[in-house]
Structure formats: C-alpha cells, structure tokens
C-alpha cells in the first residue's frame, strides 16, 4: 500500500552507524528528527542555505482532539497523483464546520524534509517562468525543473521505489508551482467556491453539501495572497496594481476568479475562485435530485420543442446557468445554435450544430473589448435558429435580444429576479427598462430557488406571459412539502403552440405524457450525461417510435 510506503519516507536511505555495525536495521520510530536532518545533509530548521530564496509557507492548522469534534463526513480524492483525505467536522467553540485537508500518506517529519528540498529546489531553478496553470493545460513543465526534482528526490530518498518517487515529484511540483495547497481545493469536485479573505484567517470553501466551511489551510502573508492573485492575472493577461486593484477574470477551463488588493479590501488581499462544474447538469440530474418533477420538465421540453423563447430567473447561486444547460438538453439536432457567455459554462451534445462564443475583457490600455452586445449583434448575421445568452444586464442587450425574438429567433437567457412578478419588474425598470408591451415575446419564465438555510436548489415557478404582459404562474413550488404543484391552467403557452402548429389540445396533452414517460425512463436508467441525454433527444425528434419502443419495454438502447 502506498500509505505504508510513504509513511516512513523520511527514513529511506538513512543508516544509523551504531545499529549498522551491530548488523541491525534501525527502527524509524526510534530515530530523532535532528539525526534525519544531519544524515540527509539538509540544514537544520531556521538555518536556510546561503543564497536560498526564502518564501512564505502555507500553514495547515492542527486537527483538534477527538473529544472536541463531531464528525460530519469523510471522503478521499486524488490531486495530481497525491491521495487526499478530507474530514468535515464541527469543532468545540466554532460556529462554522471545519474542512480538514490531510495528505495522510506523508508523515510530519517527511513533510518537513520535503519542505527543505523545496527550498533547495528554488535556489537551483528559477521558477519565474513556470506556471502551474499553464502546465495543467498543456501538460508541459520545463525540463530543467523536472530533472532537478528527480535528482533531489534521488539524493534524499535513494531507496524510494518508482511509485513513491512519482508521488514525491507530484507533491513537490504542487508545492513549488502555482497556488500550493489551494490547488488541492481546486481538485475537490464537491467544492463550488474557494475564498481567501486575508492571511489572518483560514481559507474558506463552499461545499455542495455543507455550505460555507473553514479550512485548516492558512496563507502565510499578504504578500503570498497577492503573489497568487498576480500569478492568475498573468495567466489571463490581467494585472493587479495600485491603479487597478480589482480583477475579475476567467481561466481557460471556465473557473472564475476575482481578486482585490489592499487598501481597497481593508483587512487584506482577497481571492475568490468560483469553480466550473466538471460535469454539467442534465435534466436527469435535476429529476433525480428532486429539483424538478418530470411533469414540470415535460412542460419546459414542450415549449423548447416548439421554439418558444424562455427566460430563466432566480437569485444568486440558485442554479440559473445549470437550468439553462438543462433547457439546452432539449434542442433538436438539425438547428444552428449560438451561445453567448462571459464564461464558457454551457455544454451541449457534441453532435449538435453549435457555435459557442465568449466575451473578452479590454486589455490594460482599455482596448480590444468584445462585449455581450457585440456578440449578440454579430450572432444575428450567423443565421441561428436558437440563441443562448448567459445573462441580461443592460438595456441595450435586452433590446437586441427582444429584437432577435421578433425577427424569428428562439432566445434563451437568464436574469436576476426571485419570482415571475419580480422578473417582469426587473425587465421593465432601469437599468434594463424594456417597454412592457414587448414582454409577451417571452413565452415562458422558469424561476430557480435556493433555500439559504439548507442550500437546496429547486425550480420555484414555471409561468407564461399573457398577451397583456401580465404573468400567469402555471406551476409553483410548495416550500413546506418541497414539491411542485399545478396552480393554474395555461391561457397562452399551449394556445400559441396550437395556433402555429395546428395540434389540438388533446394531441399536446398526449405529447406531454410521452415526454413524462421518457424522462422517467431516463431517470430510472440514470441517463445523465450531456451526450447520452442529447442522443435520446435526437432519437425522439428523428425517430420517435423507436425511442418510445425502448421506453415501453423499459430497456436501454444497447439492450
């Protein structure tokens, strides 16, 4: 087991002279740390080698005694070949649970020696041009750096096998480049947000299950926080200076980063990382998670099938973009789709006719900006059948969007508002200020909701906009029971479909029942990736009888 091998790494290759003469192997637990430092040739703590660059070190706070904690959960994952153990617990005297990061395969003595190796490494190799964010994208690290690490590992741990040596190399790369232990946090798929408020308090994280947690990681100084923020800024062509103390940028993988520096942020420099979901949400995930009912999802699907423009609203972190991705699950394969976002978050099946586009921030001289409005205007020249817009924020964007709807395009967008009535108020008042008479162009409004106490996200309302621009809520979430209930009959949505398709109301009801059956079948068989859900939709639009045959027999495609 790797754990057993790595636990005694600090002793590998060390020989006690007295024991060696007696012909006995030394016991690792009997060896003193001072002896280990002496044998490895590393300088004692506090006496760095001459010329070695001194760097602030991150700190992992000690885990409290067992009697002072109440365990909430434990899980493991791997970060760059390094096994990580996460423990979440409530600590006596703390009001917020603790997120404890443990590299359990490395003893404390080994970690100290590795830290000394890292100091020796930084004295031998200039790391100024090495960027972990680049290496994660390209997989390329400067050869000089790799060679130096291998030599140092071989020197200080000569008896380490290949597996252990690789483990140690990964550990040193992660500690020497990029964001240190924050890299570990970025590799935890259960985290949505990572926040550094200052060097005086632990790093915070937002966990999908437990909400905000304090970690046992602290950055050593404000200089280190600023160094991390500047490193991210260089990667995306942004600068953090006294004249430009704010940075809002997006990494290539989709993660969003915001940073501020003193004195704008009074208590210290800050970094906020919002992580991009590794696996995009699908309608199956929403149903399995009880975020939406199959019946409510079927109504949304019906509207999308017949190209009714839809607005998705909700408060902060309610799942608007996730729902936008879910709505896009229902697109047919024979139409051209243009998506316009600040950050690349929408993910559609690979076989769709899809052109994703993202905005661009201006350079430090204020030139080269490509705004959402620029892309929206440009998209109308690209013959799209459907346009996806990340978020409506300003009047001009909304005007172009509504103009696109009136010229025959189906548009899907998000807006910040807590319910349908507030959505209309937001659209018809500054800063968006769309004339109320234009609102019926939006056929359907889907409102997302997040319970601030529990963190649970659900669909809150599905509504239609009537010809007089007033809303009609069709489906409403019962907060106490946590279920969606039908509260009104459609007065506009189904009538619009009848008018432009010639279908009767009974035929539309039959279509809704088919969709409910397909969604339940997908949920039962856990068809929950973008491409597998997309395949079901494509099959439905091109060969409905075939897919319904599988649904009736309750079999998968490959059965």
pLDDT tens, position by position, 119-130? 777 677 655 444
469 conformational bin, left if phi > 0, alpha if psi -120 to 50, beta if neither: left
Q: Which residue has the higher pLDDT, 181 or 143?
A: 181
Domain termination site, one of 188, 204, 220: 220
> Is-contact 473 420, C-beta < 8 A?
yes
Q: What angle do CA 511, 542, 295 make, to 5 degrees?
A: 25
Residues 6+ apart with CB under 8 A from 481: none
- Grade residue 152 by pLDDT with cuts at 50, 70 and 90: confident
Q: Classify residue 273: in a domain, yes or no.
A: no
| Co-location of 300 and 192 in the same domain | no
Using the Cα atoms of residue 272, residue 276, residue 277 and residue 280 in order, give the sign of their dihedral.
positive
Q: Give pLDDT, residue 137.
A: 52
| Co-location of 72 and 214 in the same domain | yes
* Token output for 126: 């200039």
Which span out of 8-17, 48-57, 357-366 was modeled with the highest average pLDDT?
357-366
Residue 352: give its domain's CATH number. 3.40.50.300
Residue 6: give its domain's CATH number. 3.30.450
Residues 6+ apart with CB under 8 A from 530: 280, 282, 325, 329, 347, 348, 349
Q: Give pLDDT, residue 396.
A: 87
Q: Give pLDDT, residue 80.
A: 76
Residues 6+ apart with CB under 8 A from 86: 74, 75, 76, 77, 99, 100, 101, 102, 188, 190
Q: Classify residue 464: in a domain, yes or no.
A: yes
- For residues 443 and 466, give the distance between their C-alpha atoms in angstroms, rounded to a whole number: 8
Q: Give pLDDT, residue 60.
A: 65
| Co-location of 206 and 289 in the same domain | no
Q: Classify residue 345: in a domain, yes or no.
A: yes
Q: Give pLDDT, residue 558.
A: 66
* Share above pLDDT 70 across residues of the chain, in percent, rounded to a whole number: 82
- For residues 308 and 443, give the distance between their C-alpha atoms in angstroms, rounded to a whole number: 6
| Co-location of 86 and 158 in the same domain | yes
Mean pLDDT value of segment 76-103? 90
How much is the mean pLDDT over the chain? 83
| Co-location of 441 and 528 in the same domain | yes
Least confident of 15-24, 257-266, 474-483, 528-537: 15-24
CA 13 to chain centre: 42
The β-bridge partners of 385 are none
The β-bridge partners of 205 are 194, 213
Domain that includes residue 168, residue range: 2-220
Q: Give pLDDT, residue 181.
A: 84
| Co-location of 190 and 316 in the same domain | no
For 316-364, how does the pLDDT look when each residue is reduced to its tens digit (9 = 90+)? 889 999 999 999 999 999 999 999 988 778 889 988 999 999 888 787 7
Q: Classify residue 268: in a domain, yes or no.
A: no
Q: What is the DSSP string of 100-168?
A: EEE-TTS-HHHHHHHHHHHHHHHHHS--TT--HHHHHHH----HHHHHHHHHHHHHH-TT--HHHHHHH
pLDDT reading at 482 higher than 70: yes
| Co-location of 35 and 142 in the same domain | yes
The β-bridge partners of 472 are 464
Q: Classify residue 76: in a domain, yes or no.
A: yes
Least confident of 145-159, 279-293, 424-438: 145-159
| Co-location of 332 and 208 in the same domain | no
Q: What is the DSSP string of 510-535?
A: HHHHHHHHHHHHHHHTT--SHHHHHH
Q: Give pLDDT, residue 105.
A: 63
| Co-location of 216 and 292 in the same domain | no
* Token output for 60: 């992992």
| Co-location of 213 and 356 in the same domain | no
For 21-38, how does the pLDDT look when each residue is reduced to its tens digit (9 = 90+)? 344 443 333 332 233 333
> Is-contact 101 190, C-beta < 8 A?
no
Q: What is the DSSP string of 184-222?
A: HHHT-TTEEEEEE--TTSPPEEEETTTEEEEESEE-S-H
| Co-location of 190 and 293 in the same domain | no
| Co-location of 45 and 175 in the same domain | yes
- Grade residue 204 by pLDDT with cuts at 50, 70 and 90: very high
Domain termination site, one of 220, 240, 261: 220
Which span out of 14-23, 335-344, 482-491 was modeled with the highest average pLDDT?
482-491
* Token output for 133: 């964010």
Q: Give pLDDT, residue 50.
A: 39
Domain termination site, one of 191, 220, 249: 220
- For residues 459 and 324, give the distance between their C-alpha atoms in angstroms, rounded to a whole number: 12
Q: Classify residue 266: in a domain, yes or no.
A: no
pTM of the model: 0.74
Using the Cα atoms of residue 234, residue 239, residue 245 and residue 251 in order, give the sign of their dihedral.
negative
Mean pLDDT value of segment 145-153? 81
Q: Classify residue 236: in a domain, yes or no.
A: no
pLDDT reading at 259 higher than 70: yes
Q: Classify residue 548: in a domain, yes or no.
A: yes
- For residues 538 and 333, give the distance between their C-alpha atoms in angstroms, rounded to a whole number: 6
Least confident of 106-115, 180-189, 319-328: 106-115
- Split into its structural domains, the chain has a count of 2
Q: Which residues of 333-353 are buried (b: 16+ CB within 10 A; e: fewer)?
A: eeeebbbbbbbbbbbbbeebb
Q: Give pLDDT, residue 112.
A: 77
């Amino acid at each position: 087991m790797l754990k057993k091998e790595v636990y005694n790494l600090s002793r590998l290759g060390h020989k006690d002279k007295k024991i060696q003469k007696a012909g006995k192997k030394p016991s690792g637990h009997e060896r003193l740390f001072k002896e280990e430092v002496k044998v490895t040739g590393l300088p004692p703590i506090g006496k760095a080698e001459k010329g070695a660059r001194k760097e602030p070190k991150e700190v992992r706070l000690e885990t409290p005694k067992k009697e002072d904690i109440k365990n909430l959960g434990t899980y493991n994952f791997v970060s760059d070949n390094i096994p990580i153990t996460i423990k979440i617990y409530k600590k006596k005297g703390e009001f917020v649970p603790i997120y404890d990061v443990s590299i359990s395969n490395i003893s404390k003595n080994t970690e100290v020696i590795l830290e000394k190796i890292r100091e020796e490494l930084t004295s031998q190799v200039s790391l100024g041009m090495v960027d972990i964010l680049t290496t994660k994208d390209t997989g390329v690290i400067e050869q000089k750096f790799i060679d130096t690490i291998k030599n140092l590992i071989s020197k200080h741990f000569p008896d380490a096998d290949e597996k252990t040596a690789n483990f140690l190399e990964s550990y040193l790369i992660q500690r020497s480049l990029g964001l240190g232990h924050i890299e570990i946090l970025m590799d935890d798929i259960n985290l949505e947000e990572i926040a550094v408020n200052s060097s005086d308090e632990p790093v915070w994280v937002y966990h999908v299950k437990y909400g905000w947690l304090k970690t046992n990681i602290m950055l050593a100084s404000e200089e280190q926080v600023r160094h991390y923020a500047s490193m991210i800024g260089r990667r995306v062509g942004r600068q953090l200076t006294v004249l430009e103390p704010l940075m809002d940028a997006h990494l290539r993988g989709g993660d969003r980063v915001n940073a501020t520096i003193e004195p704008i942020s009074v208590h210290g420099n800050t970094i906020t990382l919002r992580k991009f979901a590794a696996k995009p949400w699908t309608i199956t995930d929403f149903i399995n998670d009880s975020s939406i009912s199959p019946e409510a999802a079927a109504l949304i699907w019906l509207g999308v099938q017949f190209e009714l423009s839809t607005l998705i609203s909700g408060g902060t972190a309610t799942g608007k973009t996730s729902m936008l991705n879910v709505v896009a699950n229902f697109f047919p394969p024979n139409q051209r789709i243009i998506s316009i976002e600040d950050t690349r978050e929408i993910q559609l099946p690979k076989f769709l006719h899809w052109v994703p586009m993202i905005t661009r921030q201006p350079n430090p001289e204020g030139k080269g900006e490509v705004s959402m409005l620029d892309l929206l205007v440009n998209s109308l020249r690209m013959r799209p059948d459907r346009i996806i817009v990340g978020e409506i924020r300003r009047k001009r964007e909304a005007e172009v969007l509504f103009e696109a709807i009136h010229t025959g395009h189906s548009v899907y967008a998000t807006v910040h508002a807590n319910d349908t009535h507030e959505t209309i108020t937001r659209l018809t008042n500054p800063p968006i200020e769309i004339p109320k008479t234009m609102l019926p162009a939006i056929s359907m409004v889907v409102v997302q909701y997040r319970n601030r106490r529990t963190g649970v996200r659900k669909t809150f309302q599905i509504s239609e906009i009537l010809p007089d621009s007033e809303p009609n809520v069709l489906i409403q979430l019962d907060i106490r029971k946590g279920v969606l209930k039908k509260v009104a009959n459609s007065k506009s949505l189904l009538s619009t479909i009848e008018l432009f398709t010639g279908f009767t109301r009974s035929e539309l009801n039959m279509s809704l029942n088919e969709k409910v059956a397909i969604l339940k079948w997908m949920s039962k068989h856990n068809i929950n990736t973008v491409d597998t859900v997309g395949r079901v939709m494509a099959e439905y639009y091109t060969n409905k009888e075939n897919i319904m045959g599988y649904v009736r027999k309750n079999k998968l495609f490959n059965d």
